[in-house]
Amino acid sequence: MDRLQEIARRRTFGIVSHPDAGKTTLTEKLLLFGGAIQTAGAVKSNKIKKHATSDFMEIEKQRGISVATSVMGFEYEDLQINILDTPGHKDFAEDTFRTLTAVDSVIVVIDVAKGVEEQTEKLVEVCRMRSTPIIVFINKMDREGLDAMDLLDEVETKLGLKVRPLSWPIGMGSRFQGVYNMYEKKLCLFSPHGKQTEEDILEFNDLSDPELDKKIGEKPADELRGEVEIIETVYPEFTVEKYRSGELSPVFFGSAVNNFGVKELLDCFIEIAPTPRERETEERVVRPEEEKFSGFIFKIHANMDPKHRDRIAFCRIVSGQFERNTNYYHVRQGKNMKFSNPTSFMASKKSVIDDAYPGDVIGLYDSGNFKIGDTLTEGEILHFKGIPSFSPEQFRYVNNADPMKTKQLNKGLFELMDEGLAQLFTKEDNNRKIIGTVGALQFDVIQYRLEHEYGASCRYEPVHLHKACWVTSTDAEAMREFISRRKKDLARDKHVRLVYLAETAWSLRTVQEAHPKINFHLSDEH
């Protein structure tokens, strides 16, 4: 198969939602249909040892939430499907935002009982800014929830999406009988616990057929006919072009935990979802069909396998063909690098690959050469746009709880910071270490991972800070004066760059006014 055919086979998408909407369960069931796994893990139950395949970190298994993006690839209907399952919790939104730069389309999962929640709004806004095609999956239809029409209105108003249902539910909760698949003109009857058989899927080209009344009852059949007529009248006609340009979002209904509606979603997805898309760099637009390889690092994960202390950089391939044991140019460092064991992922299971194509996400073993946002090419200088970096909003002093393990603590902090989970600042006046994160839960994750992956223990102490600002200046004298006057509020990040730690918004404004020749940056990407 040639390179262009390989590109055409790829479908790379992310699954995003508010916590508990059923995102990880949906991922599991997609993998199940794709034959990538044989049994679905219980995401919620800690008694069961078969945990969700995509939640492979110990802390995820204990808490039943996803705290890191997982990458999973599988073959389905002769296509290569790459799923990026992202954390739903707002404290890990940074990881999710970065992951959205590496996908070509997105499935948004919404809980029928809770409707559109805050975290979903933020994530969809990021997708809309990039015109990423979105499919909406309304989950948990076997439970009581909001009326389907009201839910569509909420999706349109809160998420700013134009929607078009491609399947429609028949009842909900205890009255849920299944969905009518308008895309394929099929009636899919629901049976709990995923015991769906061929007899449960019936062709229905004409809903006025009296056979419908026999299957689901007269009243539900009349309701379905009326609702489908409203949908055909009120909602715009679905076209693949409108979906791929991000103008129209198809909506599906189902129950992921019961395997219901997932296959219909997957079958429609592989038909309409975009193949790998072009990406913008500061220099030019890079197209997937170009011959020369390029890719960017959007995530770094220390200790994918704690037994081996391996650190992996996740690289999204944008153009050309990646080949094992070939020299590629690391743009930021200005040097060539060769990778002898690049890997593909099935959550924590990794296998070495010889080549990869646009749309693929590969793991590169990293001894500290990569930072998030780095570019690899065949020699061209490219800088991919839109990989966000965030200013920390919560801060704590980190103290060593076991002086015998100082070396392990320092190593652990250094490596975990590279993942972009948090920032580490060392005070200029007393060398005390401060961790800054976007969300409070990250402090627990860092503490847990330090103990279980590095054998180090730490304690936190509160520190009242408003913002961390990276400072630069073209005026050496102004910088010298600034450093001498503000020493107690200055720190260095892990790359030894100077950072001003502002206690309040007022003190930040005051310092900016007092030092007009100093530039204050809210992120380290400047």
- What are the φ and ψ backbone dihedral angles of 170, each rounded to 5 degrees? -105, 100
* pLDDT range class, residue 302, cuts 50, 70, 90: low
276-300 per-position pLDDT tens digit: 999 999 999 999 999 999 999 988 8
pLDDT above 60 (res 37):
no
What is the DSSP pairing of strand 327-330 with strand 335-338?
antiparallel
pLDDT of residue 322: 94
Instruction: Residue 71: name the closest of 416, 369, 363, 388 by CA.
Output: 363
pLDDT above 80 (res 274):
yes
**What percentage of the chain reaches a pLDDT higher than 90?**
44
pLDDT above 60 (res 154):
yes
- CB-based contact 390:434 (threshold 8 Å): no
pLDDT above 70 (res 426):
yes
Distance CA 169, CA 112 (A): 11
Q: Average pLDDT over the chain, rounded to whole?
A: 83
The DSSP secondary structure of 225-240, one letter per residue, reads HHHHHHHHHHSPPP-H
* pLDDT range class, residue 94, cuts 50, 70, 90: low
504, 505, 514, 516 from 510: Cα distances, Å: 10, 9, 6, 10
pLDDT of residue 56: 43
- CB-based contact 364:295 (threshold 8 Å): no
Distance CA 232, CA 391 (A): 46
Task: Enter the tokens of residue 407.
Answer: 């070396």
pLDDT of residue 389: 63
pLDDT above 70 (res 88):
no
Distance CA 96, CA 105 (A): 14
395, 486, 500 from 466: Cα distances, Å: 9, 16, 11
pLDDT of residue 307: 56
pLDDT of residue 199: 60
pLDDT of residue 127: 83
pLDDT of residue 65: 40
Ordered by where they begin, the domains of the chain are 3-74+85-174+239-272 (3.40.50.300), 279-377 (3.40.50.300), 394-521 (3.30.70.3280)
What letter represents residue 174's amino acid?
S
Distance CA 430, CA 489 (A): 11
Distance CA 430, CA 99 (A): 37
**What percentage of the chain reaches a pLDDT higher than 70?**
84
Q: Which residue has the higher pLDDT, 244 or 100?
A: 244
pLDDT of residue 524: 66
207-251 per-position pLDDT tens digit: 888 888 888 889 989 999 999 999 999 999 999 999 999 999 999
DSSP category for residue 525: -
pLDDT of residue 49: 34
Q: What is the mean pLDDT of residues 393-405?
A: 91
Distance CA 85, CA 317 (A): 18
Distance CA 1, CA 310 (A): 33
Distance CA 383, CA 283 (A): 7
Q: What is the mean pLDDT of residues 400-405?
A: 91
Q: Which residue has the higher pLDDT, 72 or 132?
A: 132
* pLDDT range class, residue 196, cuts 50, 70, 90: low
315-353 per-position pLDDT tens digit: 999 999 999 999 999 999 999 999 998 888 654 456 788
Q: What is the mean pLDDT of residues 94-120?
A: 85
120, 151, 254, 379 from 112: Cα distances, Å: 13, 8, 10, 50
pTM, to two decimals: 0.74
Instruction: Residue 469: name the closest of 438, 512, 429, 434 by CA.
Output: 512
pLDDT above 80 (res 34):
no
